[in-house]
Amino acid sequence: MRGYQVYSHSERPKVVDLPLPEPSKGQFRMKICACGLNFADLLMQRGTYQDTPELPFVAGMEVAGVVDAIGPDTSGLNIGDRVAVFGGQGGLAEYGCFETDRAVGLPDSMSFEEAAAFQIAYGTSHVALDYRARLQPGETLLVLGAAGGVGLTAVEIGKLMGAKVIACARGAEKLSVAKAAGADHLIDAKTEDIRDVVRSLGGADVVYDPVGGEQWDAAFRASNPDARLLPIGFASGDVPKIPANHMLVKNLTVIGVYWGGYLKYKPSVVTDSLKTLFDWYEAGKLKPHVSHTLPLEDVAEGMELLRSRKSTGKVVIVP
């Protein structure tokens, strides 16, 4: 089979021929039909992600496809089942072996491309806004990076939860995508002052930030007393600095969110969230946005789209 193998953190990965893997006890093998790209994939290639696998490894965190083989003494799945998995690695290949207890059955109406774009982006936003920040109807939610993979889902979910959503992104094209997802107000990070605009709209009660850097600083200052701030990631490359004195004065709460971490010590948070999200999808309340679909040979192009922030929603690789 072919796979996108990372051999070194200082060299570009390659699509190479690899042995077909065999599932062990508790695992199944998937014929991979789609793999969603995430900013964490870029960090893994550099060796800077908190869960970077040992070298060498096949990149690709979330996949969707068909059950192709089942390991010995393993139950719960059948050959031919349509499933999605957050495996953490191994997704950018034609086949992969994954833990059976991580498999999620797909609704008949959901395509493999949508499924590969679904779990991490929607899961992160739902756990962040519902379980962690306890977003309430009528509150104001500020979403930075609002046209990106996770930011766009935060706009959708925030609106579903009854919030007033302020979407911040760079340029009219990206802002139009956020508007279509339900944003009530738009801020162009290229030309507008985030702090001033948010304050003019009454301030933010919850901040969802996958960007970091200067945008975090502006959002921090535009937060209302008792606001909750969610650092989701640092696409700007600049990890935010949190002024504790300002937190004290305004009674602010900064809440870390690492969706994948719950799979290790409290998986019910993820499984309960995904059940809600799939129910919303089947009810037509969520519409995954995939801006680019590329073949396995073009993974490097897909990664560059993420790095340069030229994509909206998700980039999906179809082996």
pTM for the predicted model, two decimal places: 0.90
| Cα end-to-end distance, the chain, whole Å | 10
Q: Residue 23, SS3?
A: coil
* DSSP element (H, E) containing 104: strand 103-105
Q: What is the pLDDT of residue 304?
A: 95
Q: What is the pLDDT of residue 50?
A: 82
Q: Computed from CA positions of residues 146, 150, 152, 153, in that sequence, does the dihedral angle turn out positive or negative? A: negative
Q: What is the pLDDT of residue 140?
A: 98
Beta partners for 67?
30
* DSSP element (H, E) containing 246: helix 244-250
Distances (CA, A) of 202 to 79, 104, 165, 185: 54, 40, 12, 12
Structural domains for the chain? 2-118+288-318 (3.90.180.10), 121-260 (3.90.180.10)
Those residues whose C-beta lies under 8 Å from the C-beta of residue 283, and which sit 6 or more positions away, are none
Burial class (CB in 10 A: 0-12, 13-18, 19+), 88: buried
Give the residue from 99, 25, 38, 103 showing the smallest Cα distance to 64. Answer: 103
* DSSP element (H, E) containing 213: helix 213-221
Q: Which residues of the chain have pLDDT under 50?
A: none
Q: What is the pLDDT of residue 240?
A: 84
